[in-house]
Amino acid sequence: MKILIYILIALATGLVIFNATKLDFGNLFEGESAIAAISILAGLCAILMLGILLISRNIAARTKK
């Protein structure tokens, strides 16, 4: 499960990097740039939630001992 979480974090990071190349800072919330901005936020949220999952699993393993 830990390896799967790291793979998902890597995929989300790739998604953020790919969509960062699609941003047009002149028209940030218009057209394809708006979709890229929303996708970047979604990728960052996914990374945050997966990080929280890793930490909570680590805490659960420590309290179990």
Q: What would the pLDDT profile of 4-61 be if each residue is shown by its tens digit?
A: 999 999 999 999 999 999 998 888 888 889 999 999 999 999 999 999 999 999 999 9
Is 65 domain-assigned?
A: no
The pTM of the whole model exceeds 0.75: yes
Burial of 46 (0-12, 13-18, 19+ CB in 10 A): middle
Burial of 33 (0-12, 13-18, 19+ CB in 10 A): middle
The domain of 7 spans: 2-59
Taking 90 as the threshold, does the pLDDT of residue 65 lie above it?
Answer: no
Is 32 domain-assigned?
A: yes
**Residue 11: which of 54, 47, 38 has the closest Cα?**
47
For residue 24, the model assigns a pLDDT of 87
**CB-based contact 65:23 (threshold 8 Å):** no
Q: Give the residue carrying structure tokens 């047009």.
A: 24
For residue 27, the model assigns a pLDDT of 85
Is 64 domain-assigned?
A: no
Query: How many domains does the chain contain in total?
Result: 1
Structure tokens at 23: 């941003």
Taking 90 as the threshold, does the pLDDT of residue 1 lie above it?
Answer: no
Is 44 domain-assigned?
A: yes
